[in-house]
């Protein structure tokens, strides 16, 4: 349809020549007939993770007990954060920490951004952003007496510089954008959004939930102020695995970043247990309570795999998979509407297709062990995990939609 | 010394006649020589948990993938919460949910209590409360423009009705008390504190971190308004396992309870992904982000064990263990100060002893594989997990202190 999508290649041939194909066997379920196209909701576990968790319980938790905190766990939110920063975010050490849910971290970030701009009264967010992002912004705006400035993107795309520029001004405290839009898969222009936001004097908070592990990020180079990301999608951390947060070093060093949930693990001297809260210097001030160690173990495995593969190869594979999916949709499902960008440079790791009958189609697909995601009211979302989804799996899924529409 | 402490009995004999002794073998590490007296910081894992986590990864996460949310995980914070409520809290269903850290839940609870009393300007908390409790109260008071009213208990006890009554009044929005004090082990009089607080027109928030799994609770009968508890101590949930929160049904039914971290998982219709946040009816409105499923699995195992044993037996064992420890301290460590209540009815599951040399003693104990907890500046805290600590272990630990002081 456009030059960015190649003619459909043979799926089995693509798998046979795929340089990353060997990695699929590392994931549980790759040996089954299940067609899994929802890795952007919950990624498959690595095989190593099952054994690792059992070993952790028997040896590290059971064997070291409370000593584990001194030996490894206390620093784990930051050592793992630094690894995520280096391998995935383009972030120098000391700016990333793991813990809490994405929602709780978004709350901390939005509150911190508002507190750092006491003279400004507006938070900018888009109507197509994920519910938690919108709800957090609404709640913080209400509690702090601020206004929400809504951007309304085209549903097949997302927040562009052209949409953002007109709403920015001297009242802008914060702009919150999902770097890859959860519905359309639109990949926002991070550096351009940061530059615009900074020109207006506000901070940019990127939600990286659908970006991390699918598209390369350069948060330091782009000048992003704050970011939050999810780890149970392309980072395969398991259901409800803890999120991570990034705070640019300049806002930590200046002390401008202060978050409202003052817990002992974010205090300068946690074990002194002093009378008043004094925030830790550096990224540890993002932390509130005791870190969720069990929830970080699977994530450690996947970060290790991405470190060895490299995000450039992951992104190349992700692009190849989404291009293949779009070519198949064009070829096999002509009556369906593609609701994701066609140019690969504007697309993350998933695509969305719409049709009035998609609700019933999704239900029928699930009964056939073909598992994509459904989004209200009529959209099928196809998530392609770069290291665990095969080209054959993509084709099988799309042909199953064809069968069901017939 | 008082009639509540029996003469010291023979430790091996106590173990031999202990009706719960068989349960010790269910825990990893019970076969080793390690003397573990810090189960109130981090409980030992059950043996079943190691296998369970591996099975979960391979079969439930790996096999069911995203379908696991519909099948079990979405409701898990509340089904597990209800089990905790029934077995441990004296709470009818629909008032308890698992998720977030203790710190984050305390923040939500304190903010909710303040919001429910807009005309009142004071939060009451004690200077001996755990740092996170104090820091959260300080932070919320500052952000909401309220005052903190400090109670200063005797360091060997905790918050009594006599200490609380004089500071209550028409400005009291909330009283926050640790039901079992983290330092002294003092067991507060829950129903009396609730009655006093309600007479003044405020809400009582109990921190149950050191109570749950060591002392019986009757939150409904006592009229407690809000509670938060930790699951990695006597509930053996693993390092950083998620906390639970309790909100009395009357505050859910009336809509008086509203917390500030508005996430999609607490919305009335999470998968409609509607334009504005509408809190779910019932306890689900306490939830913000995606529930930490992996972190709830070990906890499920231990709640199951407590369901089968019953809290009355657990409490009887806990009292027997702390009485034994106090009798040993009296007998073997006459120069040491007992900083916990002597009457068993005023004591939770741990005791604290003070001596000027306790810092070096603790370090030397750890080198000998005797693991108690140290609390600044000179206190040794001996935590006795009712189902995994033996009487012989208690004696070995206290005799090791004797050796080191000599």
Closest residue on chain A to B137 (Cα) = A262
pLDDT-derived band at B6, boundaries 50, 70, 90: low
Q: Is A75 a catalytic residue?
A: no
pLDDT reading at A7 higher than 70: no
Hey, are the CB atoms on A66 and B272 less than 8 Å from each other?
A: no
Could A273 and B131 be called an inter-chain contact, meaning their C-beta atoms sit closer than 8 Å? yes
Same-domain check for residues A133 and A222: yes
For residue A366, what are the CA distances in angstroms to A352, A356, B290? 17, 18, 22
Active-site pick, B83, B315, B347, B381: B381
For A57, the closest of B49, B61, B102 (CB atoms) is B49
pLDDT for B124: 98
**Residue numbers in A near B293 (CB within 8 A):** 238-240
List chain B residues with CB under 8 Å of A36.
65
Interface test with A, best of B31, B61, B125, B389 (most A CBs within 10 A): B61
Residue B31 has pLDDT above 80, yes or no: yes
Which one, of B380, B386, B345, B376, lies nearest residue B362 by Cα? B380
Taking an 8 Å cut-off on Cβ atoms, the answer to whether A263 and B103 are in contact is: yes
Q: What is the mean pLDDT of residues B344-371?
A: 97
- Quick: pLDDT tens for B75-90: 999 999 999 999 999 9
CB B251 within 8 A of CB A80: no
DSSP A297: H
Give yes or no: residues A25 and A174 share one domain: no
Name the CA radius of gyration of chain B, rounded: 21
Q: Which of B305, B336, B352 is the last residue of a domain?
A: B305
Mean of per-residue pLDDT scores for chain A = 96
Domain annotation covers residue A234:
yes
**Could B62 and A103 be called an inter-chain contact, meaning their C-beta atoms sit closer than 8 Å?**
no
Q: Which residue range is the domain that position B362 belongs to?
A: 11-47+310-405
Residues A81, A162, single domain; the answer is yes
First vs last C-alpha separation in chain B = 23
Q: Chain B partners of A102 at a C-beta cutoff of 8 Å?
A: 289-290
Cα distance between residue A156 and residue A43, in whole Å: 24
What pLDDT score does B81 carry?
98
Exposure class string for A219-250: b at 16+ Cβ within 10 A, else e: bbebbbbbbbbbbbbbbbbbbbbbbbbbbbbe
My answer on whether B154 and B301 are in the same domain is yes
Residue B57 within any structural domain of the chain:
no
Q: How far is B140 from chain A (nearest CA, A)?
A: 8
Token pair recorded at residue B366: 């750890």
pLDDT of A179 reads: 98
Nearest CA-CA distance, residue B260 and chain A, Å? 7
Q: Both B180 and B323 in a single domain?
A: no
Mutation target to probe the A interface, by most A beta carbons within 10 A, among B50, B261, B378 is: B261
Q: What is the pLDDT of residue B3?
A: 39
Q: How far apart are CA B45 and CA B26, in angstroms?
A: 9
Answer yes or no: is B60 within a domain: no
Chain A residue with CA closest to B45: the answer is A62
Q: Are residues B200 and B301 in the same domain?
A: yes
Taking an 8 Å cut-off on Cβ atoms, the answer to whether A68 and B270 are in contact is no
**Confidence at residue A273, expressed as pLDDT on a 0 to 100 scale:** 87
Domain edge (last residue) among B237, B270, B305: B305
In a domain, A59, yes or no: no
Would you call B232 a catalytic residue per the annotation? yes
What CATH number should be reported for the domain holding residue A41?
3.90.1150.10
Which residue, of A256, A278, A305, is where some domain finishes? A305
Contact B290 A102 (CB under 8 A): yes
| CATH label of the domain that carries residue A159 | 3.40.640.10
Find the catalytic residue in A27, A130, A182, A391.
A130
Name the residue among B102, B154, B145, B103 with its Cα closest to residue B123. B145
Q: Are residues A156 and A207 in the same domain?
A: yes
Model pLDDT, residue B7:
57
Q: Is the peptide bond before B377 cis (omega within 30 degrees of 0)?
A: yes
The per-residue pLDDT for range A359-405, each reduced to its tens digit, is 999 999 999 999 999 999 999 999 999 999 999 999 999 999 999 99
Q: What pLDDT score does B4 carry? A: 43
Residues of B in contact with A272 (CB under 8 A): 376
Closest CA to B228 of B124, B103, B76: B103
Interface probe, candidates A290, A297, A382, chain B, greatest B C-beta count within 10 A: A290
In this complex, do A135 and B53 lie within 8 Å of one another by their Cβ atoms?
A: no
Mutate to test the interface with B, among A28, A50, A240 (most CBs of B within 10 A): A240
Strand order in the sheet with A147-151: A96-98, A244-247, A226-229, A203-207, A172-178, A122-126, A147-151
Q: B257: distance to nearest CA of chain A, Å?
A: 15
Q: In what order do the strands lie in the sheet with A373-375?
A: A337-338, A350-354, A379-383, A373-375
Q: Which H or E element spans position A91?
A: none
Q: CB–CB of A273 and B375 under 8 A?
A: yes
Dist CA B312 CA A161 (whole Å): 64
What are the chain A neighbours of B45 within 8 Å (beta carbons)? 57-58, 61-62
Check whether residue B240 and residue B383 sit in a common domain: no
pLDDT digit string (tens) for B196-253? 999 999 999 999 999 999 999 999 999 999 999 999 999 999 999 999 999 999 999 9
Domain assignment present for B54: no
Q: Are residues B367 and B223 located together in one domain of the fold?
A: no
CB contact under 8 A, A263 and B104: yes
Helix axes A391-405, A358-367, angle to 10 degrees: 120
Closest-approach residue (CA) in chain A for B38? A66
The string of pLDDT tens digits covering residues A200-221 is: 999 999 999 999 999 999 999 9
- Pick A65's closest partner by Cβ from B44, B101, B270: B44
Q: pLDDT per residue over A136-171, tens digit each?
A: 999 999 999 999 999 999 989 999 999 999 999 999
Beta bridge partner(s), residue B150: B125
Nearest CA in chain B to A294: B295
**Chain B residue numbers touching A285 (CB-CB < 8 A):** none
| pLDDT over threshold 90, residue B349 | yes
Identify whether residues B189 and B90 lie together within a single domain: yes
Judge whether A183 counts as a catalytic residue.
no
Same-domain status, B359 and B394:
yes
**Closest partner CB to A65 (pick from B49, B295, B371):** B371
Number of structural domains found in chain A: 2
Residues in chain A with CB shorter than 8 Å from the CB of B291 are 239-240
Contact (CB<8Å) A261/B49: no
Residue B56 lies in a domain: no
pLDDT tier, B118 (very low <50, low <70, confident <90, very high otherwise): very high
Catalytic residue chosen out of the listed positions A24, A111, A120, A233: A233
- Catalytic position from the list B8, B120, B233, B284: B233
Distance from CA of A137 to the nearest CA of B (A): 9
Would you say residue B223 lies in a domain?
yes
Decide if B267 and A135 are in contact by the 8 Å CB cutoff: yes
Q: For residue A33, is it within any domain?
A: yes
Q: Reply yes or no on whether A271 is catalytic.
A: no
Measured between beta carbons, which residues in chain B are less than 8 angstroms from residue A38?
A: 65-66
pLDDT band at residue B9 under the 50/70/90 scheme: confident
- A261/A217 same-domain check: yes
Q: Do B104 and A44 touch (CB under 8 A)?
A: no
The verdict on whether A232 is a catalytic residue reads yes
Q: Per the residue annotation, which of A225, A285, A381, A391 is the catalytic one? A: A381
């Amino acid at each position: 349809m456009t030059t960015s999508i190649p003619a459909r290649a043979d799926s089995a041939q693509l798998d046979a020549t795929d340089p990353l194909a060997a990695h699929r066997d590392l994931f549980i379920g790759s040996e089954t007939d299940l067609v899994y196209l929802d890795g952007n909701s919950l990624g498959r576990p690595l095989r190593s993770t099952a054994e690792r968790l059992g070993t952790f319980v028997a040896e590290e938790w059971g064997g070291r007990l409370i000593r584990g905190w001194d030996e490894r766990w206390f620093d784990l939110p930051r050592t793992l954060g630094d690894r995520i920063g280096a391998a995935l975010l383009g972030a120098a050490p000391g700016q990333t920490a793991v813990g809490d849910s994405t929602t709780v971290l978004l709350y901390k970030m939005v509150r911190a951004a508002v507190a750092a701009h006491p003279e400004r009264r507006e938070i900018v967010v888009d109507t197509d952003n994920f519910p938690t992002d919108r709800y957090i912004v609404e709640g913080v705006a209400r509690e702090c007496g601020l206004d929400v400035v809504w951007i309304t993107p085209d549903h097949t795309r997302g927040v562009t510089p052209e949409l953002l520029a007109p709403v920015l001004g001297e009242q802008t405290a914060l702009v919150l954008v999902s770097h890859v839009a959860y519905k359309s898969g639109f990949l926002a222009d991070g550096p351009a959004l940061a530059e615009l936001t900074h020109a207006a004097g506000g901070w940019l908070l990127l939600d990286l939930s659908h970006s991390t592990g699918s598209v390369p990020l350069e948060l330091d180079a782009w000048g992003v102020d704050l970011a939050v990301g999810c780890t149970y999608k392309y980072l395969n951390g398991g259901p409800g695995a803890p999120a991570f947060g990034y705070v640019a070093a300049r806002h930590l060093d200046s002390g401008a970043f202060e978050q409202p949930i003052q817990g002992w693990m974010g205090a300068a001297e946690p074990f002194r247990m002093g009378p008043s809260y004094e925030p830790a210097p550096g990224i540890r001030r993002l932390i509130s309570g005791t870190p969720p160690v069990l929830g970080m173990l699977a994530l450690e495995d996947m970060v290790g795999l991405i470190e060895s593969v490299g995000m450039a190869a992951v992104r190349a594979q992700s692009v190849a998979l989404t291009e293949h999916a779009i070519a198949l949709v064009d070829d096999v499902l002509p009556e369906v509407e593609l609701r994701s960008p066609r140019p690969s440079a504007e697309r993350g790791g998933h695509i969305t297709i719409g049709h009035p009958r998609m609700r019933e189609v999704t239900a029928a697909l699930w009964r056939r062990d073909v598992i994509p995601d459904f989004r209200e009211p009529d959209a099928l979302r196809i998530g392609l995990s770069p290291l665990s989804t095969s080209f054959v799996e993509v084709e099988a899924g799309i042909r199953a939609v064809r069968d069901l529409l017939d």
